[in-house]
A and B are shown apart, each in its own frame.
Chain A
Amino acid sequence: MERKYMESQIKGVSTGTTILAVTFNGGVVIGSDSRASMGGNYVCSKTINKLIQVHDRIFCCIAGSLADAQAVTKMAKFQISLHSIQMDSPPLVKAAASILKELCYNNKEELQAGFITAGWDKKRGPQVYTVALGGMLLSMPFTIGGSGSTYIYGYTDAKYKPDMTKEECLQFATNALALAMGRDNVSGGVAHLVVITEEGVEHVVIPGDKLPKFHDE
């Protein structure tokens, strides 16, 4: 017990978390829970925002040390903004993800944060990239992350299908988040969802009692 207490003092607030991003036909849905915990038994915040907007059509979900994640996304937001102005066009999602990756890789000794970058751009449409702890960058049709994600790998692998409609995708993401939040003690609160399409960005917040319930609830 004491060792765990010491760990949390050193690590600080972390987002034991569930985050995900899923592409559908014409856009991408990004979702997260809203719990920030310290040491595994204290909830620092029940309503924290883990979906950071880094550009008009690009969002980042954060996992890991909250301080590190906020510092990195703040720097990334600046660099993406500058890049977009220099290029005189909205940034590619790949460029935004690469910027995050460079920050994570070059500072891997000090940082403990992982990200999911997702968004829409004119060249390649909806995309999802995962930037892991050490700075690995991978593109995939959908991805899940954070401590809660371990409980839903089976569900997402079984239930994902390419080219879903927006409604199907929202339902898929909501179910996945609800299942993870139901089993992971450091994920919880409300479910935040953001839908990004060519037309714009739409936020959906689902409070804990309105989440889908499964057999034992």
Chain B
Amino acid sequence: MSSIGTGYDLSASTFSPDGRVFQVEYAMKAVENSSTAIGIRCKDGVVFGVEKLVLSKLYEQGSNKRIFNIDRHVGMAVAGLLADARSLSEVAREEASNFRSNYGHNIPLKHLSERVAMYVHAYTLYSAVRPFGCSFILGSYDKDDGPQLYMVDPSGISYGYWGCAIGKAKQAAKTEIEKLQMKDMTCRELVKEVAKIIYIVHDEVKDKAFELELSWVGEVTNGKHELVPKDVREEAEKYAKDSLEEEDDSDEDNM
């Protein structure tokens, strides 16, 4: 779906004759160049999985994390330009912190995602700035409202989801996610499925090594967003690698 908007794509303050803002579309392309991140909401929490490509063996393990903590109860997984994403995570943190300071309780995720989306949208209005080149998935768990999952893209809209994927393999990941019955699953079961999906959509040919980042927030963590503990991680990765081998034996086509 690539089209060149010659002449109408120089700044975000210009519409093309067919009603598109090309700068925003180019920003979304930047997201599509990045590796995949997925978030799935189940009946008692939210699980994030990110395929973090390791470009060099010299990198320290665990550097350039793509999952952030926004508030105790909110996590954010990103895809796209990492520097843009870091800046937006600070914006989200400030919003959550100001809300708590003014109103005395945790910020509801819908409100947070709307506020950050409004901020992202502001950068699509002027020629003096460029739109943010990242999409992100926000997830939280609250005792009364339950688990919530929202995704914000560079155009500045936010939608609520049961499962979503962003990045280069988002179509394939979405197909896999649709196969799951997430409304009936618990976080522990879901962690394994998320790891499996990341392993499935990872392209062995084009991208070599990758690190799997897994995090969750739900009843299992008492409402606190945190990286999945080591033993659960290892169990999930083992499950993912085993299912991949089974599928390799029985079915050659993975993507």
Contacts and interface: CB of A to CB of B under 8 A. Distances in A.
B231 interface: no
B208 interface: no
Contact of A102 (B101, B108, B144): B101
A63 interface: no
Interface residues of B, number: 8
Contacts of A95: 103-105
Interface stretch (A32-40, A86-94, A147-155): A86-94
A137 interface: yes
Interface in A68-116: 83, 86-87, 92, 94-95, 97-99, 101-102
Q: Which of B102, B104, B105 has the most CB of A within 10 A?
A: B104
B186 to A, nearest CB: 24
Contacts of A87: 108, 111
B111 A102 contact: no
B203 to A, nearest CB: 42
Nearest to A124: B144
A95 B103 CA distance: 4
A92 B111 contact: no
A98 B111 contact: no
A123 to B, nearest CB: 6
Interface residues of A, number: 13
Q: Which of B101, B102, B108 has the most CB of A within 10 A?
A: B102
Contact of A94 (B101, B105, B108): B105
B103 A99 contact: yes
B104 A94 contact: yes
Interface in A200-217: none
Interface in B84-127: 101-105, 108, 111
B111 A97 contact: no
A102 B104 CA distance: 10
Contacts of A123: 144
A94 B103 contact: yes
Contacts of B108: 87
Contacts of A137: 104
Nearest to A129: B104
Interface of A: 83, 86-87, 92, 94-95, 97-99, 101-102, 123, 137
Given A87-B111, A94-B105, A102-B102, 17 more contacts: A83-B103, A86-B111, A87-B108, A92-B104, A92-B105, A94-B103, A94-B104, A95-B103, A95-B104, A95-B105, A97-B104, A98-B103, A99-B103, A101-B104, A102-B101, A123-B144, A137-B104
Q: Which 3 A-B pairs have the closest CB atoms?
A: A98-B104, A95-B103, A94-B104
